[in-house]
Amino acid sequence: MDDPRTGPSPTLRDVATEAGVSAATASRALNGSTRNVSAEKVALVLQAATKLGYAPNLSAQAIARGSTETVALIVHDIADPYFSSIAAGAIDGAEAAGLTVTMAVTGRSPERELEIVSTLRGHRPHAIILAGSRVGDDQTALADELRTYEAAGGRVAVVSQPGLPYGTVTVDNRRGAEDLAAALLAQGYRRFAVLRGPGRHRTSHDRAEGFRAGLARAKIDLAPGMVVETDFTEDGGHAAMTDLLGRGLAGVELVFAVNDVMAVGAVRALRDAGLVPGTDLAVAGFDDISAATDVAPALTTVGVPTHAMGRRAIDLALTGTDKGEVVWLPTNVILRDSTPPRDTGPARR
Amino acid sequence: MDDPRTGPSPTLRDVATEAGVSAATASRALNGSTRNVSAEKVALVLQAATKLGYAPNLSAQAIARGSTETVALIVHDIADPYFSSIAAGAIDGAEAAGLTVTMAVTGRSPERELEIVSTLRGHRPHAIILAGSRVGDDQTALADELRTYEAAGGRVAVVSQPGLPYGTVTVDNRRGAEDLAAALLAQGYRRFAVLRGPGRHRTSHDRAEGFRAGLARAKIDLAPGMVVETDFTEDGGHAAMTDLLGRGLAGVELVFAVNDVMAVGAVRALRDAGLVPGTDLAVAGFDDISAATDVAPALTTVGVPTHAMGRRAIDLALTGTDKGEVVWLPTNVILRDSTPPRDTGPARR
DNA sequence: ATGAAAGCGCTAACAT
DNA sequence: ATGTTAGCGCTTTCAT
């Protein structure tokens, strides 16, 4: 009937009383400064703490110390594998630094994002990590909010969203697409089409242009009608591919979709049209989501180190010195069965 | 040179001073009790707050009020689509209730889980949500930790982990597999094999046994060698399927893998063996992960409402009265091309 | 080495 | 309607 593990959370004072010492000593025993407290009392305090099931009130610590042990992570959609992988990396990094992660999702709404930054700021986190690529609209309100956070000593890092004046971890989409183009040329492909996303989307733009640039090096260019703008989704890829097929391929051998989900949609469209993906028409994507290896044929794509991006963002925020530092993480071309080597006989010069 | 948005975070006192009122009035103006403060001063305070970029120190609020506005979410692996979807649901639910989510991942380590619960307890969250199915080992330490948390007024809810004495949201794996079996029987299938996970894993067990029970209703049983135990992963599915093929199918028409990733592995194994999945051998899975529709042929499976599970867990924790209440969310059988209807001629009785 | 006391930013009686 | 005052749980001088 005197179970210590009952009632409201035990406080430091409870522990101190239980151990027969002052709160100050208890605090010292539990924290770093074990130095100035006798081994005997340390043992007593520790024992009392476990007996009572004591867990320090982090809010109280935060306010007394003037700093917290948390980092805030903001993503657009945690169910999206791209973001969940970034989140996993960020959480790893945070835990390695002994920090707890608080998280919020924007649902891709800029207003919501702003609101969230404001709320999160109230937690006084060590750092705020913003993950997600903006659609390119006005961000002054967000920038303001972040500025006052930073002015108060907060650290900010951004993942894949160059444009904000903070440490940024990103991937060279342009270069990745260029590399992909080169690899595909080496496989023997010469005639291409591109499925890209809505005009304003920066990532889409960079990838499409990078691909074009890669081809240009081999003096190959994209026929005007062969760049189709569509939704950044699987259905978008399906629709665009269907459209392309309807208009006639005109000799196109390979379709590059600016992301894997669109590519998967394109593959489905091919199959729906009675064609064999890979054989009748090659397909390549970008991102290397896990579905890329699940589809048949497995999808040639460009790997993006999402986990590493999350982790680096934490590092950048925590240790970063250079405000506007941009870390470019390398992508890697992954050739799979959706773009088999093409026999270009000696006839082709 | 006197930019207010500079230096350390402005405090309530700063706002009060700026507005020419007392801290108490500022507090009242900013919070609910707008009633007892003149509209005039409210305006003044609000104005001062925005001018200074004030964001209340949530830690201080928490300690003064004796309660926080956060809920803690613990998942095994946020990069796993199953958990990220649950997390998305939980975050939705939390935000609807005006709560911030703190998150930590266990990496499937029971020790880590324990450690995390202990740390998180320090945040004094409204509720702790535990997501993930235990492998069935000793959980007394965890139970202890949770008990003291609950004794202090914390709420606990568990997702898909029946066995802990807290509100639990789960899915009837047994029933889902039974339904699947019935649906497949209706499609005309009669001879089955099962790919299941390691023995102790409860989910795996329930699904395998449910499937067996479903077949038993039609007086069909699983040949002894036709239940293969393997890893709960894609490679596990691949290996088990390959093994099965090596030993001879003995007329088996359909393979049920207890989760989709294993099923995807099985599909790959079939293709590697030169067989056509769906046509030469039907395959069904469980979970309805997004990859299920990406593979070819699209995978017949049992849908699990992960998002809803996360959301319900929050509701349960926040409003739940009944300690040990268990919410069973319905699964749904989804027939796709990997299990085409089978023509069982009239010859078959 | 240890305790007493002040203070972190805020809220909530308690006055007025 | 508003200001004063006393905490909330903890850390950290400052004494001893």
Is residue A99 within 8 Å of A130, Cβ to Cβ? no
pLDDT of residue A116: 93
- Alpha carbon distance B118, B139 (integer Å): 14
Q: Which of B301, B302, B315, B334 is nearest to B169 (CA)?
A: B315
Buried b (16+ CB within 10 A) or exposed e, A193-216: bbbbbeeebbbbbbbbbbbbebbe
Asked if the model's pLDDT at residue B36 lies above 90, the reply is no
- Please indicate whether residue A140 or residue B346 has the higher confidence score (pLDDT): A140
E strand map for chain B: 70-75, 100-105, 127-131, 155-159, 167-171, 192-196, 227-229, 254-257, 282-284, 301-303, 326-329, 332-334
pLDDT at B134: 66
The stretch B33-56 carries a mean pLDDT of: 89
Q: Tokens 């509100």, residue?
A: B167
pLDDT at site A210: 97
Nucleotides of C under 7 A from a protein CB: 1-5, 7-13
Report residue B25: phi and psi, to 5°. -60, -45
Q: Provide, as residue numbers in chain A, all residues whose Cβ is less than 8 Å from the Cβ of B285.
A: none
- d(CA B310, CA B129) in angstroms, rounded, equals 9
Torsion angle in degrees (nearest 10) through CA of B179, B180, B184, B187: 70
Q: Write down the mean pLDDT value for chain A.
A: 90
Torsion region of B153: left, alpha or beta (phi above 0 gives left; psi -120 to 50 gives alpha): left
Secondary structure element (H or E) that encloses residue A313, with its range? helix A306-319
The C-alpha angle with vertex B203 and arms to B293 and B74, in degrees rounded to 5, equals 85
**Which nucleotides of strand D are protein-proximal, with an atom < 7 A from a CB?**
1-5, 7-13
- Alpha-carbon gap: B117 to the closest alpha carbon of chain A (Å): 10
C-alpha A105: how far from chain center: 13
Distance A68 CA to C6 C1' (A): 21
Q: Which residues of A29-48 are buried (b: 16+ CB within 10 A; e: fewer)?
A: bbeeeeeebeeebbebbbeb
- Measured CA distances, B197 to B81, B163, B194 (Å): 19, 20, 10
Reported as a pLDDT band with limits 50, 70 and 90, residue A133 is low
Question: What's at B312, amino acid-wise?
Answer: R
Give the domains, in start order, of chain B with CATH numbers: 4-56 (1.10.260.40), 70-171+306-331 (3.40.50.2300), 173-303 (3.40.50.2300)
Contacts of B56 in chain A (CB under 8 A): 122
User: Judging by DSSP bridges, how do beta strands B155-159 and B167-171 pair with one another?
Assistant: parallel
In the predicted model, is pLDDT for residue B320 greater than 80? no
Q: Which one of A79, A290, A294 has the shortest CB-CB distance to B84?
A: A79
pTM: 0.87
Q: Using the predicted structure, report yes or no on whether residue B255 has a pLDDT greater than 70.
A: yes
pLDDT of residue B62: 96
**Residue A200 is encoded by which pair of tokens?**
């304003």
Strands (E), A37-166: 70-75, 100-105, 127-131, 155-159
Q: For residue range A321-340, what is the model confidence (pLDDT) as tens digits?
A: 777 789 999 999 999 999 99
Distance from C-alpha of B166 to C-alpha of B152, rounded to nearest angstrom: 15
The chain-wide mean pLDDT, for chain B, equals 90
pLDDT tens digits, one per residue of A305-318: 999 999 999 999 99
Q: Position A162: which residue type?
A: P
- Assess contact for A222 and A213: CB atoms under 8 A: no
Q: What is the pLDDT of residues B219-250, one digit of tens each?
A: 999 988 899 999 988 899 999 999 999 999 98
For residue A136, which amino acid is it? G
